[in-house]
Amino acid sequence: MLPSQLKKQLNSVLEEGFVLKRAVFQPCLELYPMSEWNMLMGKVNKLNRFVKKNNDFIRRFTAGVKMVELDASGRLLIPKDLHSFAGISKEVVLSSAVNIVEIWDKDSYEKAIDDATVDFAQLAEDVMGNDKDILDELS
């Protein structure tokens, strides 16, 4: 079940539906509003499929992709294969990741956050510290 506050934030895109897929870098799922998914697929569709690396990427990136909608009660049914991929047991965490929502098994999420905090200061500096455009926007 989506929390009511998240559902309110997603209200403008609820009717379009969502795409649910395996995350690339973490053992979690990614929930894309259809408009975000279509923009991403626009980029992916520009890849030359006659380049083996591109073709392999597209196949693996889109593996297990499912179109999903919220039911009348605000619940999202996670298909069994994606449920297994994310190792979802009993409790889930929904984490906003800018333009998508990550869906995690609670224990896996807490472990990923704990592991990430060790390197976070360096990661923040590497990612954000030298980007003049981002620094200008933040000031």
For 21-31, give one letter per residue: b (16+ CB within 10 A) or e: bbbeebbbbbb
Q: Which class is domain 4-107?
A: alpha beta
Predicted TM-score (pTM) above 0.85: no
* H-run or E-run covering 5: helix 4-9
Cα–Cα dist 78/98, whole Å: 21
Whether 12 has a pLDDT exceeding 80, the answer reads no
Answer positive or negative: Cα dihedral of 19, 77, 89, 33: positive
Write the single-letter amino acid at 106: K
| pLDDT tens per residue across span 43-83 | 999 999 999 999 999 999 999 899 998 888 888 899 999 99
Report which of residues 132 and 98 the model is more confident about. 98
The mean pLDDT value for 121-135 works out to 69
- The pLDDT of residue 7 is 77
Domain boundaries along the sequence of the chain: 4-107
